[in-house]
Amino acid sequence: MTTASRAEIGQARRVVVKVGSSSISGDNAGQIDPLVTALAETFGRGAEVILVSSGAIATGMPYLRLDSRPTDLATQQAAAAVGQNLLIYRYQESLARYRIVAGQVLLTAGDLENSTPRKNAERAIEKLLELRILPIVNENDTVATHEIRFGDNDRLASLVATLVGADLLVLLSDVDALYTRPPLEPGAVRIDDVPYGDPLDGVIVGSVGTGIGTGGATTKVAAARHAADAGTGVLLTSTSQVDKALRGEQVGTWFSPKVAAAPSTAQV
């Protein structure tokens, strides 16, 4: 079913949730447990849940004695190799409270741009969902080069949502909603709903992230539009409000999806 409105979020059968690096690493690593609790609640009502999680590089940085995100590709790959293992362990340790098993799916942009690996990824995720395993998807930073990167996991999440025909995509970050301008600027007004096709005229969307991750409001709006075009409803909110978001409460910014026209019943 297409989740056509915020009121239908609680009935979504296939849900993709994306969380950013800064929300679950460093001082915010403690947000993993409440995030998992919210996912488990949705899983427990019978929905299929896919988590798209950034954070491999950020999680690995302290173990490489790095104070800031590395800029060279080799060090990024090394940090990801260390961090991905730790990140999945932390998720599985938290999921074990609910007797939920995670399945790791690592992708590059090339995997979803070419038909054979794209089909393989779709088949693997579908089988995990069938087996009631919770797929955790991330960019394969250990092997990805600048030429075959998604660039940010907001884009990856929208592509995964489209790949599996998700009813709902929830994009989580450190900001509670989309605003008419960067939220710390004077005069910024929160936007509750974005109707399908709304050009957001007059809205100033910032592109600067936290320095830990690679995304910002610009990438989230682009991802939301991509998913909405494919018929997936999108909610943009903060990680701290994920439980309310997945219950359909009045938080964040809702992007209405394109709704397929009903088939004609006219007689020929």
Residues in the annotated binding site for substrate: 54, 141, 153
Q: Enumerate the β-bridge partners of residue 50.
A: 16
Binding-site members are 18, 54, 141, 153, 173-174
Q: How far apart are CA 15 and CA 232, in angstroms?
A: 10
Token code pair at residue 9:
């979020």
User: Could you tell me if 234 and 254 are in contact, meaning their C-beta atoms sit under 8 angstroms apart?
Assistant: yes
Q: DSSP characters for 78-146?
A: HHHHHHHHHHHHHHHHHHGGGT--EEEEEE-HHHHHSHHHHHHHHHHHHHHHHTT-EEEEEE-TTT--G
Binding-site members for ATP are 18, 173-174
Nearest to 25 by CA among 2, 49, 56, 1: 56
Burial environment of residue 128 by CB neighbours within 10 A (0 to 12, 13 to 18, 19 or more): buried
